[in-house]
């Protein structure tokens, strides 16, 4: 079958998930015909993604978060206003996506939590099957733990998540651990690439940090100044940053480099990161202690951190304080083994999806409809 990907471009997680799924398609004898990424004005599309995805990448204007002046906190009101003003540009993006889908003729459009995906499904009603995938879809599961309070943010998070999945035949909820499927919701393992699974794990002399928002660099810098005995390697998405910067003898900032980041994770003492999903999953696979800091103003990450704690992925923190990470013990080896088994079950999960899609296509074929009449 031919697939086309729609990918939200905020952060690293959705992009690496897409790379994993592309490799799965190839291994199972299917085709990736095109990729559309909703670009972020605050970040460049990582070079590693362009090099590894294997097909032409089309970047389009897409809804994005707006932050404060130091790129640390998400500003909800500013985000809503800015995106409303860009509605004409988003309509042009939808038309661009439509032209590409008409040209590529995929049988499945797979949406990695890009809001334009749901809008495209709503307004253009593609012939292709529309699937969505992301950790966020677990919000529809009865076991999901929501961050307390913040009712408006919770409502907007759930509304946004459902917006991305309008008309979806399959909603695939990435989960730290196995859970029961629900009506209209299939719980699936994390998407981890072979590069992660092939890493040699060791314990070096440094701690690793990953910041989706570069504003957190000040917290890392402040801690490093006060603790010169603690070695820290930090990776960030700061636009225009040098490949490597050394503000202190015990601290280095690295522009996001996929292989470099993975090698550092395999060798670190522990990971302190913003509370996304993918980096935490990679650290779990490698058996590393993890501290998760939800991005201020991003309700989704507050939920991720709670889900990570409940699932045994790591501990939640309010800021980049490595003294908390230093106190964490290594994860239980049995938990790591069980998690790896779950993460490596994707081929069988994918074959179930393909089998269901092929059966649906046969049932809807003109010949079968004619025969039944």
For the stretch 311-335, pLDDT in tens is 999 999 999 999 999 999 888 889 9
Asked if 322 and 367 sit in the same domain, the reply is no
With beta carbons less than 8 A apart as the criterion, state whether 176 and 313 touch.
Answer: yes
With beta carbons less than 8 A apart as the criterion, state whether 190 and 276 touch.
Answer: no
Is residue 339 very low, low, confident or very high in pLDDT (cuts 50, 70, 90)? very high
What span, in angstroms and rounded, lies between the C-alpha atoms of 230 and 236?
Answer: 19
With beta carbons less than 8 A apart as the criterion, state whether 142 and 182 touch.
Answer: yes
Asked if 116 and 166 sit in the same domain, the reply is yes
Asked if 238 and 288 sit in the same domain, the reply is yes
With beta carbons less than 8 A apart as the criterion, state whether 110 and 4 touch.
Answer: yes
Q: What is the model's pLDDT at position 213? A: 75
Asked if 209 and 186 sit in the same domain, the reply is no
What span, in angstroms and rounded, lies between the C-alpha atoms of 125 and 120?
Answer: 7
Q: What is the mean pLDDT of residues 221-238?
A: 93
Q: What is the model's pLDDT at position 264? A: 97
Asked whether the predicted pLDDT for residue 299 surpasses 70, the reply is yes
Q: What is the model's pLDDT at position 372? A: 45
With beta carbons less than 8 A apart as the criterion, state whether 136 and 97 touch.
Answer: no
How many other CB atoms are found less than 10 A from the CB of residue 150? 15
Asked if 204 and 107 sit in the same domain, the reply is no
Q: What is the model's pLDDT at position 71? A: 61
Q: What is the model's pLDDT at position 250? A: 97
175: helix, strand or coil: coil
With beta carbons less than 8 A apart as the criterion, state whether 172 and 235 touch.
Answer: no
CATH number, residue 39? 3.40.50
Asked if 53 and 154 sit in the same domain, the reply is yes
Q: What is the model's pLDDT at position 298? A: 86
What span, in angstroms and rounded, lies between the C-alpha atoms of 341 and 114?
Answer: 29
Asked if 186 and 210 sit in the same domain, the reply is no
Asked if 319 and 205 sit in the same domain, the reply is yes
Structural domain span for residue 112: 2-192+345-372
Name the strand (E) or helix (H) holding 284: helix 278-285
Residue 214 Ramachandran class (φ > 0 left, ψ -120 to 50 alpha, else beta): alpha
What span, in angstroms and rounded, lies between the C-alpha atoms of 114 and 5?
Answer: 10
Q: What is the model's pLDDT at position 68? A: 67
Q: What is the mean pLDDT of residues 60-86?
A: 78
C-alpha separations of 47 from 52, 141, 169 in Å: 9, 35, 32
Q: What is the DSSP letter of 135?
A: G
Token digits for 260?
């470099």
Token digits for 274?
């913003």
Q: What is the model's pLDDT at position 69? A: 58
- Neighbour-count burial of 38, counting CB atoms closer than 10 A to its CB (0-12 exposed, 13-18 middle, 19+ buried): buried
Is residue 164 very low, low, confident or very high in pLDDT (cuts 50, 70, 90)? very high
Overall number of domains in the chain: 2
Residue that wins the pLDDT comparison between 151 and 70: 151
Asked if 124 and 15 sit in the same domain, the reply is yes
Q: What is the mean pLDDT of residues 141-152?
A: 92
């Amino acid at each position: 079958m031919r697939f086309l990907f729609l990918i939200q471009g905020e952060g690293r997680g959705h992009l690496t998930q897409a790379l994993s799924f592309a490799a799965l398609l190839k291994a199972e004898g299917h085709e990736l015909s095109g990729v559309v990424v909703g670009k972020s004005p605050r970040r460049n599309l990582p070079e590693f993604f362009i090099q590894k995805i294997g097909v032409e990448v089309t970047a389009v204007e897409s809804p994005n978060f707006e932050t404060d002046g130091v790129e640390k906190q998400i500003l909800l009101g500013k985000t809503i206003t800015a995106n409303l003003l860009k509605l004409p540009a988003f309509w042009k993006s939808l038309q661009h996506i439509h032209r590409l889908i008409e040209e590529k003729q995929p049988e499945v459009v797979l949406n990695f939590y890009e809001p334009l995906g749901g809008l495209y499904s709503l307004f253009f009603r593609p012939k292709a099957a529309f699937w969505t995938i992301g950790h966020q879809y677990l919000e529809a599961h009865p076991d999901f733990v929501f961050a307390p309070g913040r009712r408006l943010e919770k409502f907007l998070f759930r509304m946004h998540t459902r917006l991305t999945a309008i008309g979806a035949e399959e909603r695939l909820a990435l989960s730290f651990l196995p859970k029961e499927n629900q009506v209209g919701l299939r719980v699936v393992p994390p998407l981890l690439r072979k590069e992660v699974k092939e890493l040699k794990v060791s314990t070096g002399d440094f701690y690793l940090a990953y910041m989706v928002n570069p504003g957190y660099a000040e917290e890392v810098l402040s801690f490093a100044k006060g603790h010169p005995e603690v070695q820290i390697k930090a990776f960030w998405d700061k636009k225009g940053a040098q490949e490597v910067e050394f503000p202190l003898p015990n601290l280095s900032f690295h522009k996001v480099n996929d292989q470099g980041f993975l090698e550092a994770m395999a060798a670190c003492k522990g990971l302190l990161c913003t509370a996304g999903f993918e980096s935490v999953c990679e650290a779990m696979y490698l058996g590393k202690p993890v501290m998760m800091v939800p991005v201020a103003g991003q309700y989704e990450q507050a939920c991720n951190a709670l889900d990570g704690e409940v699932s045994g992925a790591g501990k939640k923190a309010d800021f980049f304080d490595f003294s908390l990470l230093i106190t964490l013990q290594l994860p239980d080896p049995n938990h790591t083994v069980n998690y790896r088994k779950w993460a490596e079950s994707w081929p069988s999960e994918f074959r179930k999806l393909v089998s269901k899609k092929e059966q649906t296509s046969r049932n809807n074929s003109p010949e079968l409809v004619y025969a039944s009449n």
